[in-house]
Chain A
Amino acid sequence: MTKTESKVLVDISSLCYTNGGVDILHDINLTVNRGDFIAVIGPNGGGKTTLLKLILGLLQPTRGAIDVRGLRRASGTGAIGYVPQHVNHNLNFPATALDVVLMGNHSASRRLRFGNSRREVMQAHEALEKLGINDCADRKIVALSGGQRQRVLIARALVGQPELLVLDEPTASIDTKGQTDFYDMLKELNKDLTILMVCHDLMIVASYAKSIACLNRRLHYHDSFRSSGDVIDIFYSCSVQEMCPVGVITQNIKDIRPVGGKDD
């Protein structure tokens, strides 16, 4: 693991998070460098969402520390763009897709301001255009499909020009075709953006992520892998794997053997 100081975006050192007397996360060490595309995998209850919330600053670590760009508290710095897991909440909310994207521009200086500047609106349109749904900009969110809503939430995260994009199971509500498009797009975004993503789909992980973090209370980081075969080896060698119900899924990968892998 190369550790140039300027490259480090998020530094997690000996982090513990306790809830109800039990360590949800125990002794986590992870360094996210600029340009990374890290997939976090692990069983339900393994602490994936908790880890994301700690990085986002929504939760405070019980022990240890998280530094984002050398700062202790990530929230409000604009360094991180967050795409949540649920896209189907608050559906009747009176806002258009464009309005939701514009929420990504929020800062404390927006107090006592109702409108958005022309530049902000243009940036929001650009973000929507990048995701291929600018034609939906004026539609209310209730009139969008699940996949379109997902893209709106990503555009909302992107418009704040973050350095790190954090996604929590981003394709849980997207169909297979939509998923492939979505991850192709993420790969494209990864060219100038660091990505940290929770994902359950090992085939997706094998063909798109650059590195893997196995999380089940403890974290095991796999810096790189060359092929999907490596992904399987990672699962078999991984120390947190005993409790992972990954056998079935890895079997699928073995059967199908996608050509891809890490190709850039």
Chain B
Amino acid sequence: MIEVLHYEFMRHALLAGLLAAVVCGVIGTLVIVNRLVFLSGGVAHSAYGGVGLAFFLGWPYMIGATLFAFGSAMIMAAVSIKSKQRTDTIIGVMWSVGMAAGILLLDLAPGYNVDLMSYLFGSILSVPAGDLVVMAIVTLVVLLLVAYFYSDLLLMSYDEEFAEVKGVPVRPLYFMLIGMVAVTVVMVVQVVGLILVIALLTIPPYITEKYTRSLLQMMVFSSLLGMGFILGGLWASYIYDLTSGAAIIFVAGTVFFLSLGVDKLIAMKKRRVWLRSHQSLESGRTGIVDS
């Protein structure tokens, strides 16, 4: 297995995967506890409009996608902070309109068109060194911001109103969080694809949430779990010659369903223990009644 590291593309793929796992573990945790999964999906999909715009105008991909994702994220944040009830509708609209705009702009763009598939599943095996640097910088900035505002984010995530009473700048912090989600999504979409971003943002934190006792633990273990998924998926795609992005998601999905099964087993075992102690109580009581 070690010999794969001789290939530069494999080293890049591993590095990109590790960075994506870390940033997705941290941001994904905040996405899950703040219930922003749908919003993140909306941001990721509407970013496709930016891809189209970038190709149409001949700009670099990154600028178009980042601007579009950031813009739509801020609109969604503004709507969702005003009325939590109707947010999903707005997100749904921006989700589909952004995607459609991207496709139309690509239709109209002259010359070679990008493949929608590579945007959906990414191309983790062909990450250039320059992208790795950008990814590393974004990951570092996100980690620093989260570390600096950790206590504020914790309070806001658990109870917004109480946080505001305590003097946490909830509004700016909320916009910052959504902004970080947007930048993270664009960054990671480029290397691993849209669907893998959503999978990495949601599956590891969802699994770890049940077993961890603090936000920090949840972030750390989500990152580790994400790394495991990426390594496992890459290994499978190398051995069996599969599409890497899809393989990674499949590993994550399998572990996700396994964890649901394990939860069931734990619950059943707990109940058996409870039943046993309860039965012994019951028989003890009837024994007294009988005598």
Give residues in A with beta carbon < 8 Å to B: 53, 56-58, 74-78, 80, 82, 84, 89-90, 92-96, 99-100, 103-104, 106-108, 110-114, 140, 156, 160
Contact of B214 among A77, A95, A108 (CB under 8 A): A95
In the complex, what's the smallest C-beta–C-beta distance from B86 to chain A, in angstroms?
16
Write the chain B residue with the least CB distance to A98: B213
Could you list 22 examples of A-B contacts with CB < 8 Å?
Answer: A57-B164, A57-B165, A58-B165, A75-B167, A78-B166, A84-B161, A90-B158, A92-B209, A94-B215, A94-B218, A95-B158, A96-B214, A99-B213, A103-B155, A106-B151, A106-B166, A106-B168, A110-B151, A110-B152, A112-B148, A113-B151, A156-B162
The reply to whether A92 and B210 form a contact with Cβ atoms under 8 Å apart is yes
Chain A residue contacts of B103, Cβ below 8 A: none
Instruction: Indicate whether A58 sits within 8 Å of B215 (C-beta atoms), given known contacts A94-B33, A111-B151, A112-B148.
Output: no
Residues of chain A within 8 A of B162, CB atoms compared: 82, 84, 103, 156
B199-218: which residues lie under 8 A (CB-CB) from chain A? 208-210, 212-218
Residues of B within 8 A of A104 (CB): 166
Of residues 160 through 184 on chain B, the ones whose CB sits less than 8 Å from some CB of chain A are 161-168
Question: CA–CA, A156 to B172, complex, Å?
Answer: 24
**Assembly CA distance A112 to B151 (angstroms):** 8
Neighbouring B residues of A160 by C-beta, 8 Å: 166
Give, as a whole number of angstroms, the nearest-CB distance from B85 to chain A. 15
CA distance A235 to B158 in the complex (A): 38
How far, in angstroms, from A84 to B154 measured CA to CA in the complex?
17
- B194 nearest CB across to chain A (Å): 26
Tell me if B147 is interfacial: C-beta within 8 Å of chain A.
yes
A94 touches B213 (CB 8 A): yes
Closest to A96 in B: B213
Interface residues of B in 56-113 (CB under 8 A from A): none
Residues of A within 8 A of B257 (CB): none
Residue of B nearest to A84 (CB): B161
Q: How far is the CB of A80 from chain B (nearest CB, A)?
A: 6
Q: Pick the residue among A58, A77, A103, A111 that contacts B158 (CB under 8 A).
A: A103
Q: List 13 extra interface pairs beyond A57-B164, A94-B217, A100-B158, CB under 8 A.
A: A76-B167, A82-B165, A84-B162, A90-B33, A94-B214, A95-B154, A95-B215, A99-B214, A103-B154, A104-B166, A106-B155, A106-B166, A114-B147
What residues of chain B lie closer than 8 Å to A53, measured between beta carbons? 161
Contacts of B148 in A (CB 8 A): 111-112
Name which residue of chain B comes closest to A79, CB basis: B165
Whether A140 and B151, one on each chain, are in contact in the complex, defined by CB atoms closer than 8 angstroms, is: no
Look across to chain A and name the residue whose beta carbon is closest to the beta carbon of B166: A106
**Contacting residues, chain B, for A93 (C-beta < 8 A):** 33, 157-158
Q: CA separation between A196 and B204, bound complex, in Å?
A: 43
A94 to B154, CA, bound (A): 10
Nearest 3 pairs of A and B residues by beta carbon = A76-B167, A110-B151, A106-B166
Q: In angstroms, how far is the closest chain B Cβ from the Cβ of A19?
A: 13
- Report the separation of the CA atoms of residues A41 and B94 in the bound assembly, to the nearest whole angstrom: 43
**Contacting residue for B167 out of A107, A140, A156, CB 8 A:** A107
Q: How far is the CA of A110 from the CA of B209 in the complex (A)?
A: 24
Q: Are B218 and A111 in contact (CB under 8 A)?
A: no
Check if B263 is an interface residue, CB within 8 A of chain A. Answer: no
Contact check: which of B165, B168, B212 meets A94 at CB < 8 Å? B212
Closest to B149 in A: A111
Q: Closest CB of chain B to A142's CB: distance in Å?
A: 9
Known A92-B209, A108-B167, A140-B213; contact A58-B154, beta-carbon cutoff 8 A: no
Contact among A75, A78, A113 with B164 in the assembled complex (CB-CB below 8 Å): A75
Q: How far is the CA of A264 from the CA of B214 in the complex (A)?
A: 43
Q: Does B159 contact A (CB under 8 A)?
A: yes
Chain B residues whose C-beta falls within 8 Å of the C-beta of A111 in the assembled complex:
148-149, 151-152
Residues of B within 8 A of A99 (CB): 213-214
B218–A82 contact, CB under 8 A?
no
When A75-B164, A100-B158 are in contact, do A94 and B151 touch as well, CB less than 8 Å? no
